[in-house]
Amino acid sequence: MRKKAMIRLWQVLSELYGHKFISQYGDEPSQVWARALENVGFENIKRGIERLPERKDEWPPTAIEFFNLCRDVTISPDGTNSAAYIESKIEKPLMLTDEMAYERAQRGRDELFNQDWANEIIEGNAQ
């Protein structure tokens, strides 16, 4: 993240959190924050700022907490962003036996060839 953008972020966070932010992190961006956000793009920073209310916390985020807000991840309803909540939202792969996979493939093939558009194409090519 460029220095000018970092200074602007510092101003925004200072305005949002007031003396809590300044007393916790100072009036200028620290090396820790700069390093944590060095590869975070503008759109992601914007996302992080927009997601601050989701935290449901009156205190400003740490550099790592803000970094996580910038990422494209799900925030739990209680604002904790717990690993258990995120894990519950990840779609689990369906484990199929060989028989189940074969049956699904057969069913998919049958459905494909039972479609009107497929029949029209086949009949059109046959003429």
Q: What is the pLDDT of residues 27-50, one digit of tens each?
A: 999 999 998 898 888 888 999 999
Distance CA 113, CA 127 (A): 18
101 and 40 inside one domain: no
Residues 45, 33 contacting (CB under 8 angstroms)? no
The residue among 43, 38, 37, 31 whose CA lies nearest residue 66 is 37
Which helix (H) or strand (E) covers residue 113, if one does?
A: helix 98-113
Provide the whole-model pTM.
0.56
104 with 69, same domain: the answer is no
Both 106 and 120 in one domain: the answer is yes
Total domain count, the chain:
2
For residue 127, give the amino acid letter. Q
Query: What pLDDT does 19 receive?
Result: 94
Range of the domain at 114: 93-127
Burial class of residue 105 in the structure, from the number of CB atoms within 10 Å of its CB (0-12 exposed, 13-18 middle, 19+ buried): exposed
**One domain, residues 52 and 82:** yes
